[in-house]
């Protein structure tokens, strides 16, 4: 059985003070939860303070991005060794906002995944099609290319430190969630891609999260899909009550 994985991507929101308030409330609400990996991804500037606040709790820390080189003359970048130093266990890479707004390519995302694994960190590797790609029947080609290019050069052992997040771009921040069936279908396809690239055992073990307008009201149905192993939550992760309810999703 795959261990459920619920992560909150705070994006460019929550000052240090607000972040600490949120994690204090969250810690109380999820203190009794076990059997679920719980992760929050604050803004870079809040990472160290949030890491201190999470110490000894059942919540782990992720960054929202990373650079590919370890250190050097790369003004403005933050790399895996520095994220580890700040208390992170994970980083999100390949988020559609980075691909679309900042022009990140699959090759760059692949280098980020490798840089994280090199440092002993885990990658939350995001993929997803746009509405136009879905409507023009390119969805499977797009997902296939993103998975192949993003995971190039990894072996089955590396995949133990990769979590895949399927986030259809049209469902992000729009309130338009993929239906349970749409999510289930895409996840099964992605697991099949992992099977083809690696092996059966790796495909069965890899966690595939759904992201895109996950809320307390729709998480249970999504999590009931056999290939949906968790959620990457944006808006609803900014409220302790909502995120805690998502963490405590009801098992079908």
Catalytic residues, by residue number, are 95, 167
| C-beta of 9 vs 146, nearer to ligand 13P | 9
CA angle, 12 then 161 then 39, to 5°:
40
| C-beta of 104 vs 203, nearer to ligand 13P | 104
Count of residues making up the chain: 252
Give the shortest CB-5-to-ligand 13P separation in angstroms. Answer: 13
| C-beta of 9 vs 202, nearer to ligand 13P | 9
Give the shortest CB-121-to-ligand 13P separation in angstroms. Answer: 18
Classify strands 230-233 and 59-63 as parallel, antiparallel or unpaired. Answer: unpaired
| Separation of alpha carbons 62 and 89, rounded Å | 6
| C-beta of 127 vs 203, nearer to ligand 13P | 127
Which CB contacts under 8 angstroms, 24+ apart, belong to 65-69? 65/91, 65/92, 65/93, 65/95, 65/98, 65/112, 66/91, 66/93, 66/112, 66/115, 66/116, 67/112, 67/115, 68/108, 68/111, 68/112, 68/114, 68/115, 69/115
Position with the least CB separation from ligand 13P: 234
Give the shortest CB-63-to-ligand 13P separation in angstroms. Answer: 13
Give the shortest CB-232-to-ligand 13P separation in angstroms. Answer: 4
Which residues are 60's β-sheet partners?
39
- CA quadruple 250, 222, 181, 164: dihedral, nearest 10: -140
- CA quadruple 85, 89, 91, 92: dihedral, nearest 10: -160
Give the shortest CB-26-to-ligand 13P separation in angstroms. Answer: 16
Binding footprint of ligand 13P on the chain (CB under 6 A): 9, 95, 167, 172-173, 211-214, 232-236
| C-beta of 172 vs 206, nearer to ligand 13P | 172
Identify the burial level of 76 via C-beta atoms within 10 angstroms of its C-beta, where 0-12 means exposed, 13-18 middle and 19 or more buried. exposed
């Amino acid at each position: 059985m795959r261990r459920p994985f619920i992560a909150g991507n705070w994006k460019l929101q929550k000052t240090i003070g607000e972040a600490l308030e949120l994690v204090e409330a969250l810690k109380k609400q999820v203190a009794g939860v076990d059997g679920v990996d719980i992760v929050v991804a604050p803004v870079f500037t809040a990472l160290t303070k949030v890491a201190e606040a999470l110490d000894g709790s059942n919540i782990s820390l992720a960054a929202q991005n990373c650079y590919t080189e370890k250190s050097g003359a790369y003004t403005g970048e933050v790399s895996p060794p520095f994220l580890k130093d700040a208390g992170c266990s994970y980083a999100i890479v390949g988020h559609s906002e980075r691909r679309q707004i900042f022009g990140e390519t699959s090759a760059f995302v692949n280098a980020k995944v490798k840089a994280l694994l090199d440092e002993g960190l885990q990658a939350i590797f995001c993929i997803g099609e746009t509405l136009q790609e879905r409507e023009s029947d390119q969805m499977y080609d797009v997902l296939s290319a993103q998975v192949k290019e993003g995971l190039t050069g990894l072996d089955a052992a590396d995949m133990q430190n990769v979590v895949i997040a399927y986030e259809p771009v049209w469902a992000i921040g729009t309130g338009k969630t993929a239906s349970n069936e749409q999510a289930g279908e895409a996840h099964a396809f992605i697991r099949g891609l992992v099977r083809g690239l690696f092996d059966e055992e790796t495909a069965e073990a890899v966690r595939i999260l759904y992201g895109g307008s996950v809320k307390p009201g729709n998480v249970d149905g999504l999590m009931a899909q056999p290939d949906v192993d968790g959620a990457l939550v944006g808006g609803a992760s900014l409220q302790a009550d909502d995120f805690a309810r998502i963490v405590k999703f009801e098992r079908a």
